[in-house]
Structure 1
Amino acid sequence: MSSSIPRSAAVSAVVAAALAAGLLAGSSSAVAEDAATVRVHDIQGTTRLSPYAGKQVTGVTGIVTGVRTYGSRGFWMQDPEADADPATSEGIFVFTSSVPTVAVGDAVRVNGTVTEYVPGGLNSGNQSLTQISRPSVTVVSKGNPVPAPVTIAPWSVPDAYAPAGDPAAGGSVNGLTLDPETYALDYYESLEGTNVRVGSSRVVGATDPHAELWVTVKPWENRNARGGTVYGSYTAQNTGRIQIQSLTPLAQQPFPKANVGDWLTGTTEGPLDFNQYGGYTLTARTLGTVEDGGLERETTAKQHKNELAVATYNVENLDPTDPQEKFDALAKAVVKNLASPDILALEEIQDDNGAKNDGTVTAGLTLKKFTDAIVAAGGPAYEWRSVDPQNNKDGGEPGGNIRQVFLFNPERVSFTDRAGGDATTPTTVTGTKGRAALSVSPGRIDPANAAWDNSRKPLAGEFVFRGRTVFVIANHFGSKGGDESLTSHRQPPNRPSEAKRLLQAQAVNAFVKDIVALEKQADVLVVGDINDFEFSATTEALTEGGVLYPAVKSLPRPERYSYVFQGNSQVLDQILTSPGVHHFTYDSVHINAEFAEQDSDHDPQVLRFRP
């Protein structure tokens, strides 16, 4: 659970020190008021950082609105007598570190130190959570009514996401006065720690293994037919999304399983938290009921006998130590949902003993177990081609040695084998004008290029279908690890991972240009987990010069997604086509990303065309 990472007093102390040194915007303002008379809204202030950060406060009063006995232990308290300023929150988290001894409805008086806790640490770019640490707590009375919740509703959340950060503060919004009537992030920040509620809301992010889901309070916002909320640009962040967790430990009450398109009905009420893995999170004291929306897994159309079907599927660290059930489920999806494509590029195939870090790099056992499961599911007897990586040189789990692999149905398509490909030998474009070829097949593209350091190298292969050569390049670009979240204190957030993907895209683009320079109408497909959006600089670099087209753009905008992250349905997996690929049909086959029960966290992609 994302709130299960203990809040460290040491981290809070680091933040307090940063505040004192002026490293966080708005950190050094003097506090003239007597600390003994401070109220919760005084502590919260009108910016994201408390004017009391690093200071001792005494006699802070409020009503307990929520108690967390696991993970980050503590409780929320709220002043029932609000001030007139909509920018100041009336609620605050009290970090006790041990199981709190208070109960909801207790009137309490708290002494302690005001700290700004940054979930994930200062380098994460996350906003901070204002809290009272190292508290002494006195219960004044019990059984008091909880302050009435603020309803987070479609009309209360602004459409604009966040103000632009202050350039003088490195793009941070920390020092800016909150404008909750104009910006969604300011609105949520103005409710930090406050008792809030949402009414019946559509689920836009399925229940995950950490017992959390996402809903939207704006049912019309970039909705698609399957109930999701589509992320279509860097400036359309979907302001109605909010994460839901439960304050009740799982041992006492299981968290409900919900798919995208379901509804969380009734009232969900509790304090508004901020955590590392989802930003603003309603920690539910009262949790609504999930109403099944009837979402079903999609099945793509079967290719015509004259059509070549090419698919890509990230199978999420598949290795022989995985249970047979995972192999069987993935195999069934290949046969049933993907209609047994002629060529299937797989990402995240691990070596023959998975994450055991002993130098093993071969993956024959993994692939035999998978292809046998496909046959058992009624599919073709796929053959495979790949290039074993160098040990621990391609990222992913240490010892796992993930790589891309081609599966192909030899009854429908043949593979052109040219020997010599290994982890460090590049394949190049050869041939004569009018007919391109690969020097080695299968082979890796430019593996010595620094763009591929600690990352998967592209796998290129040459296939023949009905006498026509088809070049397929399977990719797994660098992840988004290290990027700041949409709720970062910097706006817009920093996305440093893009730099590597940009270089990777340029390398693949150059290789495709070499092919089409020799054979203008060559059939080239660039497929895989690109780890970036169809509107990203990565995709622009792949398509530079018009040598590739992102086939996902042939779909209506609401259907463009292969992954769901924090309630945003978005594109990560792609198939791009060269100009020689005419009249194709594209399908993002939604079988995983929208569901609580997943065989992988990615949806596979399928393209059908006549070479």
Structure 2
Amino acid sequence: MPRIPRSTVVSAATATALAAGLLAVSSPAASADEVRVHDIQGTTRLSPLAGQRVTDVRGIVTGVRGHGSKGFWIQDTEADGDPATSEGVFVYTGSAAVTVKPGDAVRVSGTVGEYVPGGTKSGNQSLTQITGPTVTVESSGNALPAPVRIDAKSVPARYAPTGDPAQDGSVNGLPLKPRTYALDLYESLEGMNVRVGSSRVVGATDAYHELWVTVKPRENRNRRGGTVYGSYDAQNGGRLQIQQLAPVSERPFPKANVGDVLKGGAEGPLDFNQFGGYTLVARELGEVRDKGLVREKTRRQAKRELAVATYNVENLDPTDPQEKFDALAGAVVTNLASPDILALEEIQDDNGAKNDGTVSAGATLKKFTDAIVAAGGPRYAWRTIDPVNNKDGGEPGGNIRQVFLFNPERVSFTERAGGDATTATEVVRSGKRAALSHSPGRIDPQNAAWTNSRKPLAGEFVFRGRTVFVIANHFGSKGGDEGLTSHHQPPVRSSEVQRLKQAQAVNGFVKDIRAVQRDADVVVLGDINDFEFSATTKALQDGGALYPAVKSLPKSERYSYVYQGNSQVLDQILTSPGVGGEDDFSYDSVHINAEFTEQNSDHDPQVLRFKP
């Protein structure tokens, strides 16, 4: 399937070295007439026959994948009665053409392996498979094994067991308990023919022709049809990725938004891949029923309200089609009601990802602000600081950065020269008030916390005579973190280390402002790349310096992004006590992208309105 390089097959030679979580030690060879599929799968996540050659393993072909990672699934019709052992397995043919078809009764000889999608360093679980196969077709046209139904009753409420401390927190060696844990249930069905009934879509169709449904319709549901990720212990085990076996050239994959219904569900083998974990690869696929999800529009700010917003515009540069500029601009005007201050993330330089030393973004910003005017919005002015070439992460040559747009008819910008990519702005005293030494300026850009990451952009704005400090952020990404289906439970979140340091730096800067002016209005916003309950957000809050305004919303409304069927918070606006409590501001996460298959960005913008 797309994005799944088949590059890591663990052999018996490495079994001992990887026993601490990645591969079980092989057991003695079994004779050919004893080996059935459930013997290969075993009662843990790893095959007891890994690395061994097996002969004449019988099964009925339940699905064929003739593109991408080629191969087919077989299932034994004579189950052993143990719910922990799967009766299905994938047969990997490599570059060889797949000549079998569903309903063929076959005998397969080959080597048992554990394929780790993404490599052993990814933390992913492995897929048990037979490689280098020799296949004998005994008969054709046989009835397929009846599918195992996956539904709200069969999927346990608990997500995964805690990993074995003696095995580096891995669950690989633990006996499967499919009636106790959702991940154990899915593993016990790996490779088997399964079925989900009509199900609600919780992750829109993406560019790789896949979507997410939930088989637990009441599990952390929100009013727009999504499933909300509200804590590290609420992983939402009812989520399941859906792909299809037929190439899209033969059968177009359905387009679905969150809240739509996959009528008729799906049936096919249960796979495990790098980008979604357990995935139903549909041999039979229902139709999408459109439930009419509408893109939200926030209200316009009142005359005395200052509207501050944040929007990740996803690597915007002049090489993007005019249609993207127009769509983003239209959203600023129509859906965000032309906020007074708009912090943008992922504005790229004037030639995008062309890696030639260009760092200025004037052409990008002119094209965007012109599009906003054409959409009926104000003529925004902008302030930013160009980064040092290739020092802020993102696409090589793209030089993404944060930018302030502001409506000069509603708000003014306090200019203090001297800020550049490597010079830190400092908090100074101006009479009895706090001020910035450079506006715009970067916060502590030489701090190691910002290595290969975007440096925060700070600026002073004045609204109706009151100074407001705004700090635009784009913290380090979650790249490198293990997925929820990792063999480590809980998964390792390695990227959090850098974000924690970044949050501490911003928190310290806000404390500096408040040390000079206790009642200062400070707004910290942007793509924080972390949840409202995360250690990153707690570090931003430290000492009461900031409050995550998203927490003013009901828990079911707290999200700005949808990842693997989980609606979750990544984009945030945090406020200092000077801004006031929940009764003193209005907050809106404006859902216009993340839930839709047609997106102008993968993030939803956030808007805060208050009276300075």
Which category of TM-score, normalised to the shorter sequence, fits these structures?
Answer: over 0.9
Specify the alignment match of 1:5 in structure 2: 4
- Do the aligned residues in 1 keep the contact of 2:91 with 2:131 (CA within 8 Å)? yes
Q: Are positions 1:608 and 2:609 aligned together?
A: yes
Confirm whether residue 588 of structure 1 aligns to residue 589 of structure 2: yes
Tell me the alpha carbon deviations over residues 296-318 of structure 1, each in whole angstroms, 9 at most, x when there is no partner: 00000000010000000000000
Contact 2:29 2:49 in 1 (8 A): no
> Is the Cα–Cα contact under 8 Å of residues 270 and 286 in structure 1 kept in the other structure?
yes
Alignment pair present for 1:463 and 2:461: yes
Task: State the 1:293 CA deviation.
Answer: 1.0
Of 43, 48, 51 in structure 2, the residue corresponding to residue 46 of structure 1 is 43
- The Cα shift of 1:431 comes to 1.0
Q: Aligned ranges for residues 332-481 of structure 1 at < 5 Å?
A: 332-432=330-430, 434-481=432-479
In structure 1, what is the Cα distance between the partners aligned to 2:526 and 2:570?
9
Greater Cα shift, 94-103 or 139-148 = 94-103
In structure 2, the residue corresponding to 1:552 is in which secondary structure? helix
Letter in 2 for 1:76: W
CA shift in 2, pair 1:45/1:433, >3 Å: farther
Residue deviations 1:155-197, cap 9 Å, x none?
Answer: 0000000000001110000000000000000000000000000
- Counterpart residue identity of residue 588, structure 2: D
* SS at 1:542 equivalent: helix
Match of 1:72 in 2: 69
SS at structure 2 position matched to 1:266:
strand
| Structure 1: 5+ residue stretches without partners | none
Quote the RMSD (CA, aligned, Å). Answer: 1.0
Taking the aligned partners of 1:110 and 1:460, their CA distance within structure 2 comes to 64
Structure 2 contact 443–455 (Cα < 8 Å) conserved: yes
Give the match's secondary structure for 1:267.
strand
Question: C-alpha distance in 2, partners of 1:293/1:600?
Answer: 22
Kept in 1, the 8 Å contact 2:36–2:76? The answer is: yes
Instruction: Please give the alpha-carbon distance, in whole angstroms, between the structure 2 residues aligned to 1:434 and 1:118.
Output: 61
Question: How big is each residue's C-alpha offset from its partner over 1:172-230, in whole Å with a ceiling of 9 and x where there is no partner?
Answer: 00000000000000000000000000000000000000000000000000000000000
SS of 1:288's equivalent in the other structure is strand
Q: After the TM superposition, which residues 438-587 of structure 1 pair with which residues of structure 2 at under 5 Å, given as runs?
A: 438-582=436-580, 583-587=584-588
CA contact (8 A) 1:516 1:522 kept: yes
Change (3 A) 1:251 1:458: same
Query: In the alignment, does 2:138 pair up with 1:140?
Result: yes
What is the CA-CA distance between 1:15 and the residue it aligns to?
4.8
What does residue 276 of structure 2 align with?
Answer: 278
Report the equivalent of 2:31: 34
Do 2:311 and 2:526's aligned partners in 1 also have CA atoms closer than 8 Å? Answer: yes
The one of 14, 18, 30 aligned to 1:18: 14
> Which residue of the partner structure matches residue 600 of structure 2?
599
List aligned pairs for 1:311-326, cutoff 5 A: 311-326=309-324
1:432, CA displacement in angstroms?
Answer: 4.5
Match of 1:59 among 43, 56, 74: 56
Deviations 1:472-506 (A, max 9, x none): 00000000000000000000000000000000000
Q: 1: CA distance between counterparts of 2:17 and 2:427?
A: 57
Instruction: Indicate the SS of the match to 1:539.
Output: helix
Bigger shift: 437-446 or 22-31? 22-31
After superposition, where does 1:200-211 map in structure 2 within 5 Å? 200-211=198-209
Cα pair distance change 1:22/1:460, threshold 3 Å: closer
Aligned equivalents of 1:164 and 1:431: distance in 2? 52
Contact 1:68 1:99 in 2 (8 A): no
Aligned with 1:101: secondary structure?
A: coil
For 2:417 and 2:6, the matched residues in 1 are separated by: 55
After superposition, residues 153-232 of structure 1 pair within 5 angstroms as: 153-232=151-230
Would you say the 8 A contact 1:48–1:175 is kept in 2?
Answer: yes
Shift of 1:31: 3.0
SS in 2 for 1:580: helix
CA distance in 2, matches of 1:431, 1:16: 67
C-alpha separation in 2, matches of 1:22 and 1:589: 46
The residue identity in structure 1 corresponding to 2:13 is A
Q: Normalising by structure 1, what TM-score?
A: 0.98
2:325 aligns with: 327
**Residue type of the partner of 1:304?**
A
Tell me the CA shift for residue 7 of structure 1: 1.7
TM-score (norm 2): 0.98
Distance in 1 of aligned mates of 2:77 and 2:557: 46
Aligned counterparts of 1:480 and 1:18: Cα–Cα separation in 2: 29
For residues 418 and 222 of structure 1, what CA distance do their matches in structure 2 show? 48
Contact 1:433 1:519 (8 Å CA) reproduced: no
Q: Which amino acid letter does the alignment assign opposite residue 447 of structure 2?
A: N
Aligned residue type for 1:7: R
Distance 2:327 2:12 in 1: 50
Conservation of the 8 A alpha-carbon contact between 1:585 and 1:609: yes
In 1: Cα distance, 2:178 partner to 2:228 partner: 24
Question: How many residues end up aligned between the 2 structures?
Answer: 607
Gaps of at least 5 residues in structure 2 are: none
1:515-543 residue CA offsets vs partner (Å, 9 max, x unmatched)? 01111110000000000000000000000
Q: Assess if the C-alpha contact under 8 Å between 1:203 and 1:216 holds in 2.
A: yes
Letter in 2 for 1:604: P
CA distance in 2, matches of 1:364, 1:16: 57
AA aligned to 1:597 is: E
Using the alignment, how far apart are the partners of 1:16 and 1:285 within structure 2?
Answer: 33
Percent identical residues: 76
Do 1:35 and 1:56's aligned partners in 2 also have CA atoms closer than 8 Å? no
Counterpart AA for 1:607: L
